[in-house]
C-alpha cells in the first residue's frame, strides 16, 4: 500500500507515525511545502519572546529523523498542486528546483492546516507587517526585531496568537498596543469573563483597545502607521496581524472535494472525504461540536492529533471514529491562566439550548496554606436536566487542572449533580476539601433545586432604577464604602438576623456580597423568614471587572456605564 500525506505538523506528522506503527510494509511519502515538517506550532510566540531560547527546540522531527525512526520519505519544500482522484495521482512541485512530477497513491491524506486570515485593507503586504503561522514567520519576526531594534508594536487581533505574541513582544522590551474589532478578546469566552482578562492585560502594560476598526496600514520613513476609524493613526515599528485563520483548502476545492463552513473540507466520522480513498484531518476540516451536535470549525492541536490517529487507523484497515470536538483550550497571559471547554453562553443561544449559568469564586488551594489565589469559574448547564454543557475558568495555579476535570465530565455526559460527587485529590498545597469543581456543582444544584434564585450583572442597571425592590449589600461597612450599587442598603450578613425587621417583606430583595457566598447565606436566611430573595451571581467583585471595562468602551460614548457609587 502506498500512502501519500499532504502536510506535516500536527495532523500529517502524527498520522504518518501512527500509520507506520500499524503497517511496517506501507510506502509512506509526506509532502510539506515549508522547510519544517514537524514543529511546535503553539510554541512559536515564545521563541520570539525568548522564553524558548533555541531554534532547534521548535523542531520536533526532521526529514532525517522520520526516515531513520519510521522509514518515512519526507519531502520538504514540496507543494502538491493538483489531485486527480479518478486516476489516484498527485502533482508535486519541488519548490527548490522547480521540478514538477506526479506520484501515484492507494490512499491519500490531506493535512493542509489553516492559513492566516488577512483583513481586506491596504498595506497588509508591507514588509513591516507580519503574520505568525509558520516557523519561517517566526524567524522573520525575530530577525526583524533584532535588526531594527524595534521599540513599539501594534498587534491586530485578540485571539490566542494575538495575545501570546503581545505578551512575548513585551518580554522583548517593546511597548505593545493590541487592537481588536469586537468588544472583547478571546471569543471562546463570554464577555463578562473576558472583562477580567482585559483588566489584567491592562495592568501588565498592554495598551488594549476594543471595538477598533483597522482601515489601512501605511509606511513612513522609520516605521508603519496603523489607521483606525476611532484613533486616527497609531505609529509603530512593526505590526503583527493575528485576525484569525481560515481552512487552507484550495487544493481540496480544486480537486472537487465537497466543502463546508468557510470552505473547510467535509469528512465523515472516519475522516473520509467525498472522494474514494482520500482522507483529511486537522484545521482544514469541518467537525461536529461534541456538545451541541452542530457543524463547527475548531482549529486546535489536540483535535488535529486525534483525527490524525483515527485516519491512520482507518487507512490501515481499522474502524475508528471521531466523535467531535468540544474546544477545550487554555492560554497563559503573563501569570494568569484562562481556560475553556464546551459551550459558552453565545454558542448555547446560537443553537437554541435552554441553559442556566453560575459564577463562583474559589481559592486554588486551602486558604490557610500560603499562596492561595482566587479563580473565577463560570459553568454553563442544561436548565432541564443539569447536564454540564461548558465552563470557563480564569485564575492562576490549578486553573488548567479544573478545566480538564470539567472537560472530562462533559465527555462523560455528567451533570452538575455528578460534579458534587467527584472524589478529587486534596492536600492543602493543591486544593481544598471542597474543590472548586465541587463548589461549582454545589452552587449549580442549589440553583436547579430552587434553593436560591439568581440575578446577573446585566440586570443591575434596571434594578437600581426600580423603587419596588430592595438592593441589599451584606458586605462589611468598609467594603461597602469602597463601592456599591445606588440606593443599596448595607446590612452585614453577620448582623442580618437581628436587623431583618428593617427590611420590607413586601418587596423582593436582591442581595450581593463580594463573591456570592455571603449573599447566598443571607438569601437562605431571608427565605426562611418568608422574603422573596435573589442572590447576585458572581458577586460585586465579578461585576466590578465589567463595570471597569465599560470605561474603555468607545461605543458607549459615556452613556452605558454600569451603576456603582464610589
Which sequence positions are flagged as catalytic? 42
Within 8 A by CB and 6+ apart from 260, the residues are 266, 286, 295
What is the spatial distance between Cα 480 and Cα 485, in angstroms, rounded to a whole number? 9
Give 147-197 as a DSSP string: HHT--EEEEE--SHHHHHHHHHHHHTT-EEEEE-SSSSS-TTS-HHHHHHH
Q: What is the CA radius of gyration of the chain?
A: 27
What is the spatial distance between Cα 329 and Cα 166, in angstroms, rounded to a whole number? 19
Cell of 529: 423568614
Give 217-268 as a DSSP string: EEEETTEEEEEETTTEEEEESEEEE---EEE--HHHHHTT--B-GGGPBP--
C-beta of residue 108 within 8 angstroms of C-beta of residue 4 = yes
C-alpha separations of 351 from 343, 456, 531 in Å: 10, 22, 36
Local structure of residue 118 (DSSP, 8 states): P
Contacts 24+ apart (CB under 8 A), 557-564: 562/457, 562/460, 562/461, 563/460, 563/461, 563/464, 563/485, 563/486, 564/483, 564/484, 564/485
How, if at all, do strands 207-209 and 175-179 pair?
parallel
What is the spatial distance between Cα 1 and Cα 28, in angstroms, rounded to a whole number? 8
Give Cα 526 to chain centroid, integer Å: 40
C-beta of residue 197 within 8 angstroms of C-beta of residue 333 = yes
C-beta of residue 212 within 8 angstroms of C-beta of residue 181 = yes
User: Cell 463552513 sits at which residue?
Assistant: 261
Within 8 A by CB and 6+ apart from 507, the residues are 468, 469, 470, 532
What is the spatial distance between Cα 238 and Cα 448, in angstroms, rounded to a whole number? 51
Local structure of residue 515 (DSSP, 8 states): S
What is the spatial distance between Cα 156 and Cα 158, in angstroms, rounded to a whole number? 7
Q: What 3-state class would DSSP assign to 430?
A: coil
C-beta of residue 119 within 8 angstroms of C-beta of residue 216 = no
Q: What 3-state class would DSSP assign to 281?
A: coil
Amino acid at each position: 500500500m502506498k500512502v501519500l500525506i499532504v502536510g506535516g505538523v500536527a495532523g500529517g506528522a502524527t498520522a504518518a507515525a501512527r500509520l507506520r506503527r500499524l503497517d511496517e510494509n506501507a510506502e509512506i511519502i509526506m509532502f510539506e511545502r515549508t522547510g519544517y515538517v514537524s514543529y511546535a506550532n503553539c510554541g512559536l510566540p515564545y521563541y520570539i519572546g525568548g522564553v524558548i531560547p533555541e531554534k532547534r527546540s521548535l523542531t520536533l522531527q526532521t526529514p532525517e529523523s522520520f526516515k531513520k525512526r519510521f522509514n518515512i520519505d519526507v519531502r520538504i519544500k514540496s507543494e502538491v498542486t493538483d489531485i486527480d482522484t479518478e486516476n489516484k495521482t498527485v502533482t508535486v512541485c519541488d519548490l527548490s528546483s522547480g521540478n514538477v512530477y506526479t506520484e501515484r497513491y492507494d490512499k491519500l491524506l490531506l493535512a493542509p492546516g489553516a492559513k492566516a486570515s488577512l483583513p481586506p485593507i491596504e498595506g497588509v503586504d508591507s514588509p513591516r507587517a507580519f503574520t505568525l503561522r509558520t516557523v519561517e514567520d517566526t524567524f522573520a519576526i525575530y530577525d526583524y526585531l533584532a535588526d531594527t531594534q524595534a521599540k513599539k508594536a501594534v498587534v491586530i487581533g485578540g485571539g490566542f496568537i494575538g495575545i501570546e505574541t503581545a505578551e512575548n513582544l513585551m518580554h522583548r522590551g517593546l511597548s505593545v498596543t493590541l487592537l481588536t474589532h469586537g468588544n472583547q478578546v478571546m471569543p471562546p469566552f463570554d464577555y463578562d469573563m473576558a472583562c477580567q482578562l482585559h483588566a489584567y492585560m491592562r495592568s501588565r502594560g498592554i495598551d488594549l483597545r476594543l471595538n477598533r476598526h483597522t482601515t489601512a496600514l501605511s509606511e513612513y520613513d522609520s516605521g508603519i502607521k496603523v489607521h483606525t476609524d476611532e484613533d486616527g493613526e497609531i505609529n509603530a515599528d512593526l505590526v503583527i496581524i493575528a485576525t484569525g485563520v481560515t481552512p487552507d483548502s484550495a487544493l481540496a476545492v480544486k480537486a472537487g472535494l465537497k466543502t463546508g463552513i468557510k470552505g473547510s473540507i467535509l469528512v465523515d466520522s472516519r475522516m473520509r472525504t467525498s472522494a474514494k480513498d482520500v482522507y483529511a484531518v486537522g484545521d482544514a476540516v469541518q467537525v461536529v461540536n461534541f456538545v451541541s451536535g452542530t457543524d463547527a470549525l475548531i482549529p486546535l492541536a489536540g483535535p488535529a492529533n486525534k483525527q490524525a490517529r483515527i485516519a491512520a487507523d482507518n487507512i490501515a484497515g481499522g474502524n475508528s471514529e471521531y466523535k467531535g470536538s468540544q474546544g477545550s483550550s487554555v492560554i497563559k497571559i503573563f501569570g494568569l491562566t484562562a481556560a475553556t471547554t464546551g459551550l459558552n453562553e453565545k454558542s448555547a443561544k446560537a443553537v437554541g439550548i435552554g441553559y442556566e449559568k453560575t459564577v463562583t469564586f474559589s481559592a486554588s488551594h486551602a486558604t490557610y496554606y500560603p499562596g492561595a489565589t482566587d479563580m473565577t469559574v463560570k459553568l454553563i448547564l442544561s436548565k432541564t436536566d443539569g447536564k454540564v454543557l461548558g465552563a470557563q475558568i480564569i485564575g492562576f495555579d490549578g486553573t488548567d487542572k479544573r478545566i480538564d476535570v470539567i472537560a472530562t465530565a462533559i465527555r462523560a455526559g455528567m451533570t452538575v449533580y455528578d460534579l458534587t460527587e467527584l472524589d478529587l485529590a486534596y492536600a492543602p498545597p493543591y486544593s481544598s476539601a471542597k474543590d472548586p469543581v465541587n463548589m461549582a456543582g454545589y452552587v449549580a444544584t442549589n440553583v436547579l433545586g430552587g434553593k436560591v434564585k439568581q440575578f446577573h450583572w446585566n440586570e443591575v442597571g434596571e434594578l437600581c432604577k426600580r423603587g419596588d425592590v430592595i438592593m441589599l449589600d451584606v458586605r462589611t461597612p468598609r467594603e461597602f464604602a469602597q463601592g456599591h450599587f445606588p440606593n443599596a442598603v448595607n446590612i452585614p450578613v453577620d448582623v442580618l438576623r437581628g436587623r431583618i425587621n428593617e427590611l420590607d417583606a413586601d418587596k423582593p430583595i436582591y442581595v450581593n456580597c463580594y463573591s456570592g457566598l455571603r449573599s447566598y447565606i443571607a438569601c437562605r436566611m431571608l427565605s426562611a423568614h418568608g422574603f422573596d430573595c435573589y442572590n447576585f451571581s458572581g458577586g460585586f467583585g465579578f461585576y466590578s471587572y465589567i463595570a471597569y471595562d465599560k470605561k474603555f468602551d468607545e461605543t458607549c460614548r459615556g452613556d452605558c456605564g454600569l451603576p456603582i457609587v464610589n
